[in-house]
Amino acid sequence: MTIKWDEQATLIDLDGTAPFIGTLRDCTRHFAAFRASAQADARILLTRPVARAGRKTRTWLLNPDEIEALAARVRDGEDG
């Protein structure tokens, strides 16, 4: 999965809290500040669908495990 850090995205959760709109990097950093229970309910809505390993179709949503992988890259100082 290759997404540019400066691509616009929206961080949403399943509890109905107001969405956070910003870049993928900003959404990822915001996600990293959540408690574990809030992270489990969070998703990132992308502006463009991305191809996923093992899937025939592209998707617009990133799941918590995928967001956590991005958060680890931010913590490690990786630019995407």
pLDDT in tens, 16-45: 789 999 999 999 999 999 999 999 999 999
Tokens of 38: 């809030």
pLDDT tens digits along 47-77:
999 888 788 888 899 999 999 999 999 888 8
Tokens of 15: 């509890």
Share of the chain above pLDDT 90, in %: 62
Name every residue whose Cβ is closer than 8 Å to that of residue 13 and which is 6 or more positions away in sequence. 38, 41, 42, 43
- Taking the C-alpha atoms of residue 58 and residue 51, their distance in angstroms, rounded to an integer, is 4
Q: Degrees (nearest 5) of the Cα angle 61, 36, 20? A: 45
